[in-house]
Amino acid sequence: MTQQAEQRQRRIEENLGLVHACANRLLGRSASYEDLVGAGCVGLVKAADGFDPSLGYAFSTYAVPVILGEMRRLLREESALKVSRSAREKAARLCEIQKQLRSHDGREPTIGQIAEKAGMESSEAAALLFASLPALPLVTEYDGEERPMEIPCESGEQPILEKLSLEKAMTLLPEKDRLLIECRYFHAMTQTATAEKLGMSQVQVSRREKAILRTLRGYLSE
């Protein structure tokens, strides 16, 4: 195996944690955790193939968007809502009951009223009525052109990018300062225990910790 191939293999093996971190951020959507990890591994391999270390940035910084891109591709492919024939028939019956009640009472009926007339639980009626709604279009027309619809949602990337920024900032610290922060915030050690480990007093740890945190804030704000 050539040196380049060994480096590629090492990058893949050492950064599998990024795949799991990204999968956890997107978990709960249309794909399972295992499927997200599978797509993420494809992205990790692509990142390892396309990474150019001469550009000067960390592999993880390059890999995360590629991994998330493969996971989002999977989610897009599996996003179509599949409704069984029997469910569609039940939903159509509920819609007809909804129209009847609306016409009779002169107002919009509640889910409970529709479910009672249909002889089913409110939760089942709500799910069926929701399934009968038309799919939301993901494109909109503007000046004769189709454009993607902007749907506000919380970004899953931001916490990952913040973690990567912190890891990079940590590498800029002197070794003893880095160990102090790791003891206090990664291993949840008390100032006294940290002082014993590093050969310092508790007061020295307290003062140095405050100074290091100011330094890290400075790095992260750049």
Q: In sequence order, what are the beta bridge partners of 142?
A: 145
State the sign of the Cα–Cα–Cα–Cα dihedral 179, 180, 184, 189.
positive
pLDDT digits (tens, 9 = 90+) for 163-215: 667 777 888 889 999 999 989 888 888 999 999 999 999 999 999 999 999 88
Residue 63 amino acid letter: A
State the sign of the Cα–Cα–Cα–Cα dihedral 28, 33, 38, 40.
positive
Q: Which helix (H) or strand (E) holds 139?
A: strand 139-142
pTM (2 d.p.): 0.39
Amino acid 158: pLDDT: 58
What are the pLDDT tens digits along the chain (222 aa)?
Answer: 677 878 888 888 888 899 998 888 887 766 788 888 999 999 999 998 888 888 887 888 889 999 999 998 888 776 544 556 777 788 888 889 988 988 888 888 888 889 888 998 887 887 777 666 554 444 455 555 545 555 454 445 556 666 667 777 888 889 999 999 989 888 888 999 999 999 999 999 999 999 999 888 887 775
DSSP state of 110: P
**85-131 maps to which CATH number?**
1.10.10
Pairing mode, if any, of strands 139-142 and 145-148? Answer: antiparallel
Give span(s): CATH 1.20.120.1810, the chain: 3-77
Q: Which CATH class is domain 172-221?
A: mainly alpha
φ and ψ of 146, to 5 deg: -85, 130
Alpha carbons within 13 A on the beta-carbon side of 37? 9
3-77: which CATH topology?
Four Helix Bundle (Hemerythrin (Met), subunit A) (1.20.120)
Amino acid 147: pLDDT: 52
φ and ψ of 27, to 5 deg: -65, 145
List C-alpha distances in Å: 212 to 54, 78, 209: 30, 46, 5
Alpha-carbon gap, residue 7 to 2, rounded angstroms: 9
Give span(s): CATH 1.10.10, the chain: 85-131, 172-221
Alpha-carbon gap, residue 112 to 122, rounded angstroms: 5
Q: In sequence order, what are the beta bridge partners of 147?
A: 140
